[in-house]
Amino acid sequence: MPRMIELIRASAVPATLVHSAARGALALPPAEMIEILVHLANHNKIFGQQARMTLAGWEEKSSLAAAADPKTSLEVLQYLAAAENIRPVLLPILLENPSVPEETLISLATSASREVVRVMQASPRVQQSEAIRRALKDNPHAALEAAKVSEEVDAETAEQPGSEPENADAVASEPEEVLASVPETSEPEGPAEVLDEQISAFLAEHAAEIEAEKDKPFQPLGGFGDELSVAAAPREEADAPVLVTEVASQGPAESVAKELPETEARQQAAPAAETPAVSAVLKHAYKPHEAPTKRGSALQKISKLDIKGRIQLAMKGTKEERSILIRDGTKIVALAVLESPKITDGEVETFASQKNVLEAVLRTIPMKRRYAKHYPIIRNLVFNPRTPMDVALGLMKNMLVADLRNLSSNKQVSETIRKLAIKLFKQKTEASKQKSD
């Protein structure tokens, strides 16, 4: 008897069965089911999108087995190793699978994200292949990763007691104007130029909206209240004495903003001045292991920027800065985060589940093809009660049965969402039973 994959390739099965296959609802061994899904994803115009969504959420154990097995079909291995389909958990195994063609890895190296670049650089197979290493070198993210590693090494060296650069005497003797002319090396020149072009294009495209919002300061949606108040405290007042009044009657953010000076002043304050009320405020504002925190430093930096400065930082900044700016109450700044070439699928997956972002952010995420193909992002959007209802309803048809079951009992989402989840769950389970009988 021919295998199901052979029958599907020969178009010898009804469309209803192909639809069930695209949803992963056939009672077949996982390896054959993955092979069918990849075939549909690549060649079936009607059910291809459904098959891609099913593959994106396919359970990890059988996915790992397929990625590691040299006998897995070439089409499956090439699909799993493609840049648009790559799953981080499968990447190390795919890199070392001898059945994955070198040409496939070269293609992946050319367009890989920064996280993928990092894994590929550590792969023994990649290190032994000059062709893959050459392709990886041409990837702009490889230059960013190299710069990051260099910064970390320099930081570790600087932290070592008694360590000094080899040319310390020469640097000390250089005129100030010469030292000032030395360019910073934190960003490689090539990727920076690309970023600048993208930023200029974004600013030009949204010039009218930026002009309308130009005087609007940074106002994060939810959270950061205490940290932003502390970060925004003027440094020139740092030597003022600590005076805490009416602490009990004020909210945490208000009391911190009005009564806390900078960290240095608190360290200089006499122990006797630290009353129980003061200690309570300090404990609330500064956790012992966060003095000063990176988050506070980033908030202080962002709070001083105008709208154009925040847009540039959203596209060129760090992951920490993007996690703050995605909550900016100014829509155009929050949307600029999603345009950053540095942003990862993991970050967007987190943004999709957040309730303290603008609805415009949640509406824009699934409009981008890259994210619409990433099942965890779609799932998080549907489960997020802040996602606009029309967006959530449109995404639900692509959800897996298990997630529909959980969604149907989720009291955080609207009743309309729950009712549709129940309806879709019943339809999919009944269809699955009919096919298995």
Output the six-digit token pair for 369. 């093809």
Q: Where are the domains of the chain?
A: 4-144, 225-296, 344-437
Tokens of 251: 């909210």
Residue 56, φ and ψ in degrees, nearest 5: -65, -30
Residue 336: the pLDDT is 93
Cβ-based neighbour number of residue 390 at 10 Å: 9
Distance CA 54, CA 399 (A): 8
d(CA 123, CA 341): 24
Structure tokens at 430: 């009944």
3-state SS track over 206-231: CHHHHHHCCCCCCCECCCCHHHHHHH
Among 398, 396, 422, which residue's Cα sits nearest to residue 409? Answer: 422
CA–CA separation, 110 vs 87, rounded Å? 17
The pLDDT value recorded for residue 269 is 40
Tokens 């593959």 found at: 55
What pLDDT is recorded for position 314? 92
In angstroms, the Cα distances linking 118 to 143, 158, 159 are 11, 24, 25
| pLDDT recorded at residue 144 | 54
Q: Is the peptide bond before 341 cis (omega within 30 degrees of 0)?
A: no
Single-letter code of the amino acid located at 216: K
The C-alpha atoms of residue 92 and residue 63 are separated, in whole angstroms, by 13
| Spacing of C-alpha 122 from chain mean position | 22
- Would you state the structure tokens that stand for residue 215, as one six-digit string? 């005087």
Contact criterion met (CB below 8 Å) for 222 and 329: no
pLDDT average per 10 residues of sequence, the chain (437 residues): 86 91 90 94 90 83 92 94 85 94 90 81 91 86 55 49 44 36 36 71 88 87 54 39 36 38 40 43 38 64 91 91 92 93 91 92 90 89 92 88 90 91 89 74
pTM of this structure: 0.45
Q: Quick check: 23 and 428 in contact, CB under 8 A?
A: yes
Q: What are the φ and ψ backbone dihedral angles of 390, each rounded to 5 degrees?
A: -65, -35
Query: And the tokens for 363?
Result: 């509406």
Task: Report in angstroms the alpha-carbon separations of 364 from 302, 335, 391.
Answer: 23, 8, 10
CA 37 to chain centre: 27
